[in-house]
Structure 1
Amino acid sequence: MNRSTASADPSDRPDLAVASTATVATACPGLATIRLNGMPTPAVSADGFVLPLAEAARRGGAAGAVPASSREALAEWDRWTSVILRAAADGVGGPGWLPEAEVEFLPALADPPTVYCAAANYRDHVKEMRSTADAVPTAPMFFLVPPASLAGHREPVVRPDGVQQLDWEVELAVVIGREASSVSAADADAVIAGYTVANDLSVRDFARRSDYPFFPDWFSMKSYTGCMPLGPAIVPADSVPDPMDLYLGLTVNGEKRQASNTRNMIFSIAEQIEYLSRIVTLQPGDVILTGTPAGTGRSWGRYLSPDDVMVAEVEGLGRLETRVATEAGGDGR
């Protein structure tokens, strides 16, 4: 097996030592998307098991049609949140529940209208990039990623042919639950449906172009098919008391690479929503990636190789596993 160029002694990064001792609690129940009988199917995710949402609704006595997707569920999110939490409270792992190890996961939200990604939004990440800019940012900066770039939990991600600098970036992702235009930071919580984990894989080989006067080349660096794992599930916002105080981290082949806390964001989640919603009306199902902390491959000087396994995690939201494959057959060899 070809192991990672990411292998390194974690003691080389004393800045991660304190955060790396953090313990991530079991994920709260959430709404996943799985492939069942060949079809994308929304399902309750809890304690290592999944239960199709239709079955959860039947057991809970929920009347009416069951949404065919996570995005459809957002239209009556309070109702389906109740179904999710009740199913988990009634007991996980019995008849009808499927072990997540036996299930194929799709992106937690497979068809978001838009995926917004915050750039350089963690103080520790900016510090490790050794920015020489004197100006202090007065507003967040974003780039967009096409929904076709999304991948699910445990879905292999192909390292594009010829790429040598495939990098990792754990992020807290926000799922918008209702239309939002010119929302103030004080009111931003009201438009959030939930949260999930993202790994914004970045092709650093294509970060700069010498044939154009403008850079970086965000599209080439961030938009390859499957290079945005998202999941395993959307955890309802009400289950996350303080999203601005959550541990987040990432390992490569079991070795700690990123370890931080969402309180290290430069612009809070609420401030990001305020900024975006003043430019464009946010839609139900929009996803906002809120930035990555220190510890990316670029800072280590080491990148991903075929067969490497990443685990990105955010406190209370779960663990998002991704294996690197190669172009040929997707088997990592």
Structure 2
Amino acid sequence: MTTPRYVLASIESEGDPVSVIVHDDTVYELPGGPSMRAVLDDWQGWTEQIESAISSGRLGRGVPVAEVRFAAPLPEPRNLYMAGANYADHAREMRGLPRDAPITPPVQGPFFFLKPTSTVVGPDSAVVLPNGIDRLDWEVELAAIIGTPARNMSEESALDCVAGYTVINDVSARDRFKREPAPEPPMTFDWFSQKGWATTCPMGPWLVPSQFCADPGALRMTLRVNDVVKQNSSTAEMIFDLKAQIAFLSRVVELLPGDVIATGTPAGVGAGDKNSRYLQPGDEMAAEVEGIGTLRNRIEREHVSAVG
């Protein structure tokens, strides 16, 4: 992977988060203080302006990275499309199969679910452990952020619509995945109650433009809890690569600037180990994707205020 010449990020401000350029460990605000959604709506135009400003030395006055607080790079995604069961090594661990067991791609294509966009939090933000949840789990994922409308894309051209990449940690409440007993068999699995809790979609630390990531299918991925490695894999383990995911999604809906595709998680989740210790208050997660960045978040216990 090419070392990024620059990345884009969102920083906390007195009002809504504003988008910035991060170049040589220095943060530069974009003219007019646009949101990242506004930048994505004119992705080509902004990319040309940024490249020109860097080449000509017209970035203006910057501040050191240490002096800002980063928000999620895209604090308000248009949609969060989450790929499930999309890594061969993860499929093997969940099915109890040998490490070399073949995994046949489903003929129906990749499996997706929607995660509420209001679950997004930024780097160094707290992930709240809800009261009554005992099996809060981690999931490092590579995420693609769409910058160009895309409909009925071929796999060959699918990556053309990607503005850039970031890291997502799809934190999951495993004790809410099944409803037992369920009123009807289709209602046995509750994806909303497993995936939809507030603060359970950390995203960051920034957006790496796609021009600096020629092959999103060959990136090392790790997740550590309190510096202990839990996940250590590669995007090469995807059952359906990003091209196939984009082509599939774009046949169902038109992908739009500001949409996010989280591409699935590899082996090493807590649910894959019956002896696993799940997340507890005070734990720190560090989700990393090679060349993209490291996303750190801590776990806090939910505090419910009394009413009346």
| Alpha-carbon distance change, 186 to 30 in structure 1, aligned in 2, over 3 angstroms | same
Post-superposition offset of 1:102 = 3.7
1:312 alignment counterpart: 287
1:238 alignment counterpart: 211
> Is the counterpart of residue 140 in structure 1 residue 106 in structure 2?
no
Deviations 1:161-218 (A, max 9, x none): 1211110000000111111111111110111111100000000110110142323211
1:125 alignment counterpart: 90
| Structure 1 residues 222-233: aligned runs within 5 Å | 222-233=195-206
Give the counterpart letter for 1:137 in structure 2.
P
**SS of alignment partner, residue 198 of structure 1:** strand
Give the counterpart letter for 1:225 in structure 2.
A
| Alpha-carbon distance change, 97 to 157 in structure 1, aligned in 2, over 3 angstroms | same
Give the counterpart letter for 1:311 in structure 2.
A
Give the counterpart letter for 1:115 in structure 2.
L
Gaps of 5+ in 2: 98-102
Post-superposition offset of 1:266 = 0.3
Post-superposition offset of 1:323 = 0.6
Deviations 1:231-262 (A, max 9, x none): 11111111101111111111111111111111
| Structure 1 residues 264-275: aligned runs within 5 Å | 264-275=237-248
2:236 alignment counterpart: 263
| Alpha-carbon distance change, 110 to 233 in structure 1, aligned in 2, over 3 angstroms | same
2:100 alignment counterpart: none
Contact 2:167 2:203 in 1 (8 A): yes
Contact 2:3 2:212 in 1 (8 A): no
Post-superposition offset of 1:274 = 0.7
Distance 2:216 2:129 in 1: 32
> Is the counterpart of residue 113 in structure 1 residue 86 in structure 2?
no
Identity of aligned residues (%): 44
Contact 1:105 1:155 in 2 (8 A): no
**SS of alignment partner, residue 105 of structure 1:** coil
> Is the counterpart of residue 80 in structure 1 residue 55 in structure 2?
no
Post-superposition offset of 1:49 = 4.1
1:12 alignment counterpart: none
1:103 alignment counterpart: 68
Q: Normalising to structure 2: TM-score of the pair?
A: 0.87
Deviations 1:54-75 (A, max 9, x none): 3xxxxxxxxxxx4621111112
Distance 2:272 2:23 in 1: 35
Give the counterpart letter for 1:145 in structure 2.
K
Deviations 1:6-33 (A, max 9, x none): xxxxxxxxxxxxxxxxxx9976621111
Number of equivalences: 293
Gaps of 5+ in 1: 1-23, 55-65
| Alpha-carbon distance change, 68 to 120 in structure 1, aligned in 2, over 3 angstroms | same
Give the counterpart letter for 1:35 in structure 2.
E
Q: What is the alpha-carbon root mean square deviation over aligned residues?
A: 2.5
Post-superposition offset of 1:87 = 6.1
